[in-house]
Structure 1
């Protein structure tokens, strides 16, 4: 996110990397979460009928992804990254964005 550049550092599969890349081209929940600094929950009951992020909806349909939860990671008021979780059911993340997990690693203790 530094200098307006968005990249994927790690992905769990080629399909996930593809979905991330599509968002960098034409927008999507990950980019929206990073821009707003707020979690974005995206359920799509019909991804081919997606109006807001049409290209992302089509890519999701092609890869079997119908929901996402995008969580920005913060350093104070600055967004430093965004973590994306992808699901195969539209309701995978229903209500999960209201109390997102702390993904910062702060407060964790070593072995």
Structure 2
């Protein structure tokens, strides 16, 4: 087998292993950690990887990273609002900065990154349907470390990551909704037994407590379950 064939086989095995880990992940955070670990090990030229997440009101933060310096480099980008990961989240799908010391696109971030030991970066937007999730970022400690192959392999990782993060978020939302429904049902049962009410009447009691006290229905149910006390509708 020639070198190119061996590299192709190695990447195929790497992607297969990544998919196994993503299927086994039980949360968004474990999904992110699997992605950055695999990306740092597989993308040619990369010595570290991280994921920047887009939050409310345009805020961006680092949700997962394979090295401590990644957080510091990302922090400089967020504060300056300049750099490959910020550009991938805000403007374009892929951003390559192969020589940060001399890149005119990042006049403030470039020197800051170099001072932290990062000479090149490659960032990919993460998105699901029309929603921008964040970016997958790769870091190198030497200029021109990233090649066309780096871009191709990184793009595949970004596509996998986008789908996996969206799936993890949906699963967590469904799990949270099921937990809420279960707690409310349990609290309704307690109120029914305590006050000899029907299920509809007991649910109305919970709803009125929630409205009058300006507390979420789930919080009312949680209090009833774990204290055994049914709050008054009004103080």
TM range (shorter): 0.7 to 0.9
Say whether residues 1:89 and 2:142 are aligned partners: yes
**Aligned match of 1:104:** 162
Q: 1:17 and 1:92 mapped to 2: Cα distance?
A: 20
Provide the TM-score with structure 1 as the length reference.
0.79
Q: What 5-or-longer segments of structure 2 have no aligned partner?
A: 1-53, 165-235
Q: 1:17 and 1:2 mapped to 2: Cα distance?
A: 16
Task: Give the counterpart of 1:78 among 112, 128, 131.
Answer: 131
Write 1 or 2 for the structure with the bigger share of strand: 1
Task: Give the counterpart of 2:113 among 32, 36, 60.
Answer: 60
Return the structure number with greater relative CO, CA threshold 8 A, min gap 6. Answer: 1
Q: 1:2 and 1:37 mapped to 2: Cα distance?
A: 18
**Aligned match of 1:41:** 96
Q: What 5-or-longer segments of structure 1 have no aligned partner?
A: 107-111
Q: Per-residue deviation at 1:92?
A: 1.8
Larger radius of gyration, structure 1 or 2?
2
Partner deviation per Cα, 1:36-91 (whole Å, 9 max, x = no partner): 240111111x61x4432223211221122111111111111221011111011222
Q: 1:79 and 1:97 mapped to 2: Cα distance?
A: 20
The RMSD of aligned alpha carbons is 1.9
Say whether residues 1:25 and 2:79 are aligned partners: yes
Provide the TM-score with structure 2 as the length reference.
0.40
Task: Give the counterpart of 1:16 among 70, 84, 92.
Answer: 70
Moved over 4 A (4+): none
1:54 alignment partner, SS class: coil
Paired residue total: 104
